[in-house]
Structure 1
Amino acid sequence: MKLRVAAKLDLLIICIVTVLCSFLGWFFIRHETGALIVESEKRASTITNSFAYNCEYGILVGDKDNLQRLVENLKKETDVVYAVVKDLKGTVLIKSTGTANGDTREFSSQVFSKTMAKPKGEYADIFENIPVKEEAIGSVHVGFALSDLQRKIERVRFVIMLLIFLTSVFSLLIAHWIIKYFIEHSLSPLVSGIKKFTEGNLEHRIQMKGADEIAELGILFNTMAARLADTLVSKAYVDDVIDSMMDCLIVTETEGLIITINNAALNMLGYNKTELLGKSAGMLFENSILSRYILARKNGVNIETTIVSKFGKIIPVLFSCSVMNDKTGTPHRIVCNAKDITERKKTENALRMYNKQLKMSNRNLEDFAYIASHDLQEPLRKVKAFSDLIKSKYESLIDEKGLDYIDRMQKATERMQLLIDSLLSYSRISTKAQAFVLIDLNKVISEVLTDLEIRLNDTGGRVEVGKLTQIEADPVQMRQLFQNLIGNALKFHKPDVSPVIKVYEENIQRPHEHLDNYSDYTRIIVEDNGIGFDEKYSEKIFAIFQRLHTREEYEGTGIGLAVCRKIMDRHNGSITAQSTPGQGSQFVLTIPLKQTNEEELHAEEREKANSDSDS
């Protein structure tokens, strides 16, 4: 059953008025009925008490005639049904009965006699106040008919109900008029305007009065209608837009017959429109492509394929389709979009070649660094050996200045040896890399702490290691990584303050754009309470041979953190530093839990190449 808004509002008002009037009727009837009952009881009680007062003399002297007259006078009251007078012992002195239509109610009252009390055996002065003493000498019982009271109550109820009914009818009429006025002046113009708009009259606008929500709705409708009218365009306009597209647009039926094609497609393929309309799209590309889109119901998925021009030229394109369904959900049109990627393919091939050349150049450079540093070892050892020999055999023949020169040469040789060892260590990250395997970082750090046991004892340091996740990594390089970081924390500690180093883990998701190919990562923090550094040097410290302190202050070559950065790069991770001078440092390692198969393949290729070169 369909109800209009006016009917719904009328029903709502009727319900509200009915409930309100029912409550008011109940309240007023209860109040007025109670007042009548109280008034009736008060009158009956007054009559009974007056009758008892008048019966005092008759009861004292036993004058029944007097009592009879009093009873007859009492029965002149229209609602008195019967009266009974009793003495103190309960003996009925006078009784008058009658009949009543309906219920009766009895009221009773004791009859009292007043006597003056005076001292026994004494005379009382005439002007003396003598106390009055009351004592019961009998009782009276009067029955009152309730029919008059009931009639009054019924009359009051009728009057109240009539007033409530008239008030309800008047209120409903006013409410109905207000609703009708509201519908005719607010909702009806809105409904009428919407009907005209849906019938195609896009220029129709609604004229609303007032400033309420309905008027605001009319204004919003007018705004929507104006914007919608501006967006509705003709078929010719749509064709112009399609022909102005830079990408190829081809619309086919589900059977593959071409029904629309734009100028960009015609220019790329060398056809004119009449040669392709109504023809199979299979003359341009494989029909199986369209079938895959229809079966998969995946719209807008780009694939790389080829398309054949009129002259047989094979053109690489980025191809996508969108399946259009009818009202029943059945596919009936396929919109195909193709973008010529010939130039992109050329660029990709060039980049691939350049990348291959760059990898070869980097490998040659790494091999050169390794070989150069390796070949420098022998002449350096000879310089050190001969300087030691000169110092030991000819020390007595050489003056103090010559010995100083020899000491300087030996120290320079030791520094050169340390630099070569560091350079070898740096180059081995790529040239001597091992395949990625699943490793336990807690076990790796435990081995590192064993190697650093003497330095920990010397500095009084303490290393706190939390529970770390197992990851796929090069175990040797992970050990080198943590040995450099923990070793630096022990080296750069505050004087007279025992170093405290904490290693713990945080779970994260996609921390950097270059790690998007990985599903899960771990973040490991290496934190110390050392001397710290200014964060403006947070990138400089990862450059090779870069130092923030002189060799006299702290030993080292300045290559340790560069090695750490290169290890993290090889593991598709990152390392950053955060620090405040005098408050310690934090080194944040972000690394995937699993490495890609491509990286593992490269590691195996490097291992094979290294084995061949060693042999």
Structure 2
Amino acid sequence: MRFRRVARSAPALTLLVTALGAVASAGGGVVVYQAQQRMLAQAVEHRVALIESAVRGETGRYLAALRSVAAAAGAFDTLTAVKFGELAGPLRSAGMPGVTSIAFFVPATDEQVGPVQQQWRQRGAPGLVLHPVGTGREHIFSIFSEPFDGVTAAATGIDVTQAAAPTAALLQARDTGTVAVSDTYQLIRDMRLPPAQRQQSFVLTAPVYAVPDPAAPVPPTGAGPPDADPAHAAGRDDASAFRGWVLMGLRGQDFIGGTLQQITQGSADVTLQAVAADGRLDSVAALEAPSRRARTIRRDVEVTVAQRRWRLHLDIISAGLPGAGPAHVATTGAGLGLTALVAALVAVLATGRRRADARIAAATAQLRAAETEAREQAGLLTAVLDSVSDGVGVVDERGAFLLHNPAAQAMLGVDDRDGPHEWQAHYGLFHADGVTPFPADELPLTRALRGQSSTEVPMVVRNSANPDGIVITVSARPLHPTAGRPGAVAVFHDVTARTAAERQLADATDRLRRELDRRLSAEADLRAARDDLAAQQQYLREVLDTIDVTVVTCGTDGLLVHANRAARAALPDSAGPLDIVAAARQLRFTHPDGSAFTDAETPLARALRGEHVDGVEAHVVHADGTRHVTMLHARPLHGPDGRITGAVASSYSITALREREAELTAFAGIVAHDLKSPLSVITSYTDLLHQDLAERGDTEHADLLDRVLITARRMSRLIDDLLGYAAARDATLSTTPVELGALVEEVVTERLAAAGVPGTPPPQICVGPLPTLHADPALLRQLFDNLIGNAVKYTPPGRPGQVTITAEPHGDGHVRIVVADRGIGIPDGQHDAIFTGFHRAHRAAGYTGTGLGLAICQRVVHRHGGTITATDNPGGGARFTVTLPTTSATEQPTAGAPDARPHHTTTR
């Protein structure tokens, strides 16, 4: 009876089990499908972000390089073909896909074409021919051109106004004073290619302005624009003039291929479109993935480049991305299969418990396998983030961390800490100097939570896990709306190794300086042995062939007598005797301004006339075709009777030194342009706020603003010293008769007015009779202002400064000036090092400074043909001895003159 009731209820129970199993299987499939869709969306957004970041990063790098070349070009008083080639040359190794060339352009009207052509021929472009297109308008000509792609030939003399797109970009760059990007068009040089090889291209252009000279007179109000001046168009230097443009050609297809080939990895088609000035959308270039799989996802991303908007259209292949697999189908199928098995078991329950248990076990194993596959799909996205070397961090709108991949955890070194206000102290985040704490409100993730994007912000992370600190760059942006919740994402990149490499470069520069000093010492030894040249000729040849300094000798007839190993490698091959004039012509000796040496100007020819030649800078082309910047010296050789029997010349390459100095000049120009004005605004507003707080009696916040003002003024002094350091070498030397006594009186008066400290006796400065010098007044004032300022500053606390300035004749037409003090003196072994840039001998003693003052002094003295040394002052303190030429011997003072007069202050 019981068996029959079970048998009658079995069909109903089977149907119930089947229905419940089907519902559960469908629900599981929906859950897995939704998880897959979230994973797929995150994978797509990550891929889109990588592509967008690559395009932004590359275009930003191109714009930065263009700005640097433009700033450096403007820093030169006279821009030549050689200088422009030195500026653009390092960019060839920078890996810039798509760049065809970098060129320098100038404007000219119809009347100015001839003068402009003649002027730039004299600056290193002897074959320049300008080809104006049309009349009655302003033309824009290419003057210098440096090809980059190995295919494009250097093209000069082209009037770019025949192409509307680059012309509009050039005019916009001049009007706005910033980098401009053109509409898409075909480069003029590409119009001669077959249609299948032509590409849509852009040009990036930056205006070139002369670096302002603080000593230059201010132009009168109402003066016309620089480009309207025919003299300027012909190349005349003007301290505030617009010089022209630096223009970079960029082929779109090569740029996209070189930038995104590795990023896309064949997973998407990318089309670059540019929004033209009239609003139309031009297709520039396309990168097609080799896969034949369906493109199921489309995205459009806008990238702003200078004033233009570019659009990246992406057709993404979803197959192979995390979440794109059929896991939801497998889950649903497995559930339905399990349901069928359970229903069958219920239906055939009477067939035996043993067989039913076996089937249940099999179904359970299948369900577990389906669950495992679903979990593997869900973890794939995490595995992708864990595999990248860059750190990735994601926070919600409150600053709570949702994700930190292992690379980010390794860089930050400590556990996560929620709340932006605690990040700086917890992780140990500092500015690039490694000392200044990074304000919480300015952190890239904090700014991203406010909707602001940041790109490659440098910072130092130093905490218990990274006690020595690591250098990283951080890029952050708000989460895309498709993420489903507000928040921000940041990418961290470890640049510690790159920073260390830059330090190694600085060390290498220091070693080069020491090597130059060693070579100069060797050259001095050679000059001392010139009287024994004939008797020791073979010995000297063996010695000279072992050094890298180039040494040649010639007879009174001008024929070369001997050349050491370094000289033979540089000189051209000759079947017979080679005279000095022919050698100089074949080496193509040119001055730094690009003008050629005359036959009479060559150092050996001058030495044969009895002159002593020191420190002549020349640009030469060696026999192997390489270009070098060389420092030349020459001396006449005398026989026992005093007659000239020949001449000897030596030289060494200073190419690397000049490249470093050009970088410093460019940096000084950028500092003057980009830092000086905003720093002045910060100081002014901080001072106003300080006064307001002081009037209100808020001393606590006023003291904080005092620290801000002190830091801002310290930074202003650093900028002034950097500019002075560059100007001491590059500024035009305008020499006139200078009454040194009156000049020093002014410096002393100003220093005494600023030196008073409450509770400290005023300094005593004693100035003796000083001569008249033939020198540059501005540079001479800077020299004595630094020397007197140092003598007053480096005095023990609580003691008045004591400074004595005296002068005495020294040799033929020179005067020796001594600035002596009773200060803290110079540490042992640092009497020469103090003249090195950024060297501070008393850094640990609490004396502030930039370490550039004495380096500036040395440059000023050397430019006037003098010397400067530092020694200990007997009885304590330091003595600085400056030797400078005078206008005549009668103007030199008598040593020990009794009318030395003290100067001192009695009140603050």
Q: Which has the larger radius of gyration?
A: 1
Same fold (TM over 0.5): no
TM-score of the superposed pair, with normalisation by structure 1: 0.36
TM-score of the superposed pair, with normalisation by structure 2: 0.25
Greater helix percent: which structure?
Answer: 1
